Chain A
Amino acid sequence: MSSTTDPRVAGGTRRRRRGPRTWLATLPLLTFTGLCFGIPLGAMAYGAVTRTEPANGATRLTGEHLARSLQGPYLDSLIGSVQLSALTALVGGVLGVVIAQAVVTSRSAGLRSAALTASGVLANFGGVPLAFAFIATVGISGVVTQLADLTAFGWNLYSFTGLAVVYLYFLIPLMVLVIAPALDGLRPQWREAAQSSGATGRQFWRHVGLPVLAPSLLGGFVLLFGTAFAAHATAAALVGGSVPLVTLKIADALSGNVLTGQENVALALGLDMILIAGLVMAVYLPLQRRSARWLR
């Protein structure tokens, strides 16, 4: 008893003695995030819900920009982004699990570390270089396109499907990274216990495996969704504007490629994105905590 309370008392006095000084050390970080993260976000939110009259400079609250961001081509782009993200997250999630299971069950340490390192590397392979690698491979004059005459099959890289194939290139490794520890956490003893009580493989997965994995699977899906949803560089370098995506629409509005006065709609779209991404994180974090409870 005394051994448990003593350190706590010591910690308490230490905190009281050093509290003010250590507290100061967190100030630069908190100030920085407040200024460089909080102010832009605040400005974005403020701009999304207000309108300044050019005539007299008066500012008033309005839901107009948000409403417009949910109409016409803007709504199409939001829906397009959500569809693309959901599709790629689903496909990437399933394929990622299958690959991770193949790697985890192989029991070869070399394969395992190679696969995990490669996944860590490939999951970071987003953005512009990825887009160009795919253009060189399966673009209009790409190497594989010409070798296999893909155009004859109706292949088009600069389309929804093409973009999905490119996104999977970094989403699948991301899923492998997320799910491999969870698959490791499925103890062989559980399977043995299920088998010796007469369960078939399918029963094991239905009643033991999947319930234990469920939070990690959902968490992985949500993480993939968020990553695909926020991706901009790959799409910008690849399709330019032929696929309706909210990130591309925002970029267009910001760089003045559309009518002037659309900046506030861009801000409203940004706010929409944050709301969706926030929702995604609100699902992800508790799930991650729950899976952590099982897999320690």
Chain B
Amino acid sequence: MAAMTPTTRYSDSARDTEAPEDGAPARTPARRPRRPRPRIWRGAVLGLAGAYFLVPLVASFVFTVHVPGHGITFEAYTELLSADGFTESLLLSLGLAAATIALSLLLAVPALVAVRIGSPRLRPVVEVMCMLPLVVPPIALVTGITTVLRWGPEHLSRTPLYQTFIAVQNEKFPVVLVLAYTVLALPFVYRSLDAGLRAVDVPTLVEAARSCGASWPYLVLRVLLPNLRASLAGAAFLTLALVLGEFTIASLLGFRPFAVWIVSISGAQARMSVAVSILSLLITWLLLIALSRAGTAPSTGAAAPATTSRKES
């Protein structure tokens, strides 16, 4: 054996003498192409991905400003404000978003704080209740909602509940949409808040504040909520983005917030509908970038999980 090894080695090196540089750096050539190759490969992958993701954005902008035969014009943007229904639908969407954010936070914050400090056994229940809407596609939820709304005229017309059914479907401010959006937003709100609460030692904070004589309202408003600021903002941003872009439920229930309005004008004013799409994208992006900035803010890890929470959606 001992004699075998040298001979093979010799035979190798004998072959190497023909190309002296080849044997010793045998590893280097094997490695050297491996190193530049990923760089080319990586460049190609990122370049193609960049093209795929940028071209539609650039092209839609070109589409809105370039009218074949007329040259460049910004009319699609300047005429927006005077467009029929633009302000109404935008205001409706913003109002719905504000109400949804308020409602979902009012429901989720006390429940999650309570689960943290006093009722850990309820935690799985709260988690499942908040996460379940992820399993139900919005369109399936809307079939259920229309069924329930039909009960109003069909079965309850003699009862006071009927008035409630009419009231929640008010054209001016459809409460039923707020309720549905809150259901849809709960998973994101839950994840954001849960991540924030995870990063804060809630029981210790509560104990410290209580032993310093803080009342419960003071404790929640002045001690807990400031610590959760980033994840509250995260939850609010995600909800805002969700409500501004929501189309399915609103259109099937016959209301006309922003996304439904964009579709309704697309036939007659294609250029403007694309322009509004670009604007709404920009707004959503600014919101989300602001959110991820807040997430990487130096102070705590409180919000970093808030952005990751979206990842799993």
Contact = CB atoms under 8 A, between A and B. Distances in A.
B274 A230 contact: no
B106 interface: yes
Interface stretch (B14-22, B77-85, B124-132, B221-229): B124-132
B117 interface: yes
Q: For chain B, give the interface size range.
A: 35 or more
Nearest to A277: B135
Interface string A80-111: 00000000000000010011001101100001
A47 B136 CA distance: 16
Given A30-B126, A278-B135, A237 B111 contact: no
Q: Is the interface of B mostly helix, strand, loop or mixed?
A: helix
B45 A30 contact: no
B23 interface: no
Contact of B292 (A120, A136, A230): A120
A4 B109 CA distance: 30
Nearest to A127: B245
Given A33-B186, A270-B140, A133 B277 contact: yes
A33 B143 contact: no
B45 A28 contact: no
Given A99-B46, A143-B63, A254-B252, A237 B266 contact: yes
A66 interface: no
Contact of A126 (B111, B115, B245, B289): B245
Contact of B119 (A22, A106, A135): A22
B63 A125 contact: no
A26 B119 contact: yes
B109 to A, nearest CB: 9
Q: For chain A, give the interface size range.
A: 35 or more
Contacts of A189: none
A33 B137 contact: no
B144 to A, nearest CB: 3
Interface in B54-102: 55-57, 59-60, 62-64, 66
B42 A121 contact: no
Contacts of A128: 245, 247, 259, 262-263, 277
A19 B121 CA distance: 10
A36 B183 contact: yes
Contacts of B130: 29, 33
B311 A129 contact: no
Interface string A234-255: 0011000000000100110011
B144 A281 contact: no
B145 A122 contact: no
Nearest to A44: B144
A137 B288 contact: no
A136 B148 contact: no
Given A18-B117, A121-B288, A28 B111 contact: yes
B286 to A, nearest CB: 9
A266 B270 CA distance: 31
B59 A137 contact: yes
A121 B274 CA distance: 19
B217 interface: no
B139 A36 contact: no
B208 interface: no
Given A128-B259, A144-B59, A40 B148 contact: yes
Contacts of A278: 135
Given A118-B53, A120-B311, A43 B148 contact: yes
A60 interface: no
A120 B307 contact: yes
Given A28-B111, A135-B274, A255 B118 contact: no
17 contacts: A19-B118, A22-B117, A26-B126, A29-B108, A33-B132, A43-B144, A43-B151, A95-B49, A103-B46, A122-B53, A129-B245, A142-B63, A177-B311, A181-B311, A232-B247, A277-B140, A278-B135
Closest 8 pairs (CB-CB, A-B): A22-B118, A40-B144, A230-B137, A44-B144, A25-B114, A129-B277, A136-B63, A270-B140
Interface of B: 34, 38, 41-42, 45-46, 49, 52-53, 55-57, 59-60, 62-64, 66, 106-108, 110-111, 113-115, 117-120, 122, 125-126, 129-130, 132-148, 151, 179-180, 182-183, 186, 203, 241, 245-248, 251-252, 259, 262-263, 266, 270, 273-274, 276-278, 280-281, 284-285, 288-289, 292, 296, 307-308, 310-313
Interface of A: 11, 14-15, 18-19, 21-26, 28-30, 32-33, 36-37, 39-44, 47, 95, 98-99, 102-103, 105-106, 111, 113, 115, 117-118, 120-130, 132-138, 142-144, 169, 172-173, 177-178, 181, 201, 223, 229-230, 232-233, 236-237, 247, 250-251, 254-255, 263, 266-267, 269-271, 273-274, 277-278, 281, 288
